[in-house]
Every structure is written in C-alpha cells, then in structure tokens.
C-alpha cells in the first residue's frame, strides 16, 4: 500500500511538460521511486496532531526543485475497485500551501482557528518530513526512525 500511495502522489504531481534528470531540477516530473515514506501514528494523549485520522503515511519528495511534504491515507475499498483510493494533504507551514493546496481534502485536517493555527500544527510534521527528504530516494522508514 505504501507503493500505491507513492505512485498516486507522483502521478498527481506529473504536471510539467518536460522531464529532466536530477531530482532537484525544477522541471523534473517526480516518479514513484522518488518518494520517501514513513508511517506515522498518533500516540494516546498526543496534542497537536493535525489530522482527523490516527495514522497514515508521511511522504517527502522534490517538487519543482524543493522538498515537499505530504500526509496520505490509503482508504479501505471494496471488491468493485481495483485500487484503493488515496487521500493526500500537503503539510506545510506556508499559508498558501496549508490552505489553498488542501481545499479538496480539508476533511483530513482538524479544524483550526485559521491559517495560523493550521501552520502551527503542521510545522513539526513538515520539519520531520523534510528530514525524511534527506534520506535516499525510495526510502520506507518505520515509525519513530527519524
């Protein structure tokens, strides 16, 4: 399922017309094996958890030349669907990314008093995700490894 989330993320980001070599190239289209993944889960009594689900995947890859962090959940599916649906939110302390980029999946993020509250909740997870981007491409880490 981790590979499915990574593949979905990379496919959704493949919007630039030119694929250039070099992961940090601004025009390079991310691929499935570029994504670094770590399973994360909320611990009992944890405050400051920004997501409405208790566990998911923290992912990092270079988009337009900069490290970009996402949180994803692979939804349960039935026999009618070949692939389970994956929901992703961008984890960022940038107000534009934290609000506008996540408008379609706002139900995956807890209610806050505004962009400042959301950015404060996202900041530690963005920092963790950026450390994940320091790992080799395609890395899958277990909980608590970073």
Stated pTM of the model: 0.78
Q: How far apart are CA 8 and CA 87, in angstroms?
A: 9
95 pLDDT more than 50: yes
pLDDT at 13: 55
Q: Which among 17, 58, 12, 59 is positioned nearest to 34, based on CA atoms?
A: 59
Q: For 109-139, how does the pLDDT look when each residue is reduced to its tens digit (9 = 90+)?
A: 898 888 888 889 999 999 999 998 888 877 7
| CA–CA gap between residue 127 and residue 146 (Å, rounded) | 11
């Amino acid at each position: 399922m981790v590979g499915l989330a990574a593949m979905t993320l990379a496919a959704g980001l493949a919007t630039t017309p030119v694929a250039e070599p070099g992961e940090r190239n601004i025009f390079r289209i991310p691929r499935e094996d570029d994504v670094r993944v770590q399973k994360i889960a909320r611990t009992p009594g944890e405050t400051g958890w920004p997501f409405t689900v208790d566990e998911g995947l923290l992912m990092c890859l270079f988009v337009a030349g900069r490290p970009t962090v996402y949180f994803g959940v692979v939804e349960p599916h039935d026999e009618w669907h070949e692939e389970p649906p994956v929901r992703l939110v961008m984890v960022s302390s940038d107000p534009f990314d934290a609000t506008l980029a996540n408008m379609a999946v706002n139900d995956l993020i807890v209610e806050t008093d505004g962009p400042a509250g959301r950015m404060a909740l996202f900041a530690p997870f963005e920092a963790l995700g950026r450390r994940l981007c320091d790992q080799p491409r395609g890395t899958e880490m277990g909980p608590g490894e970073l």
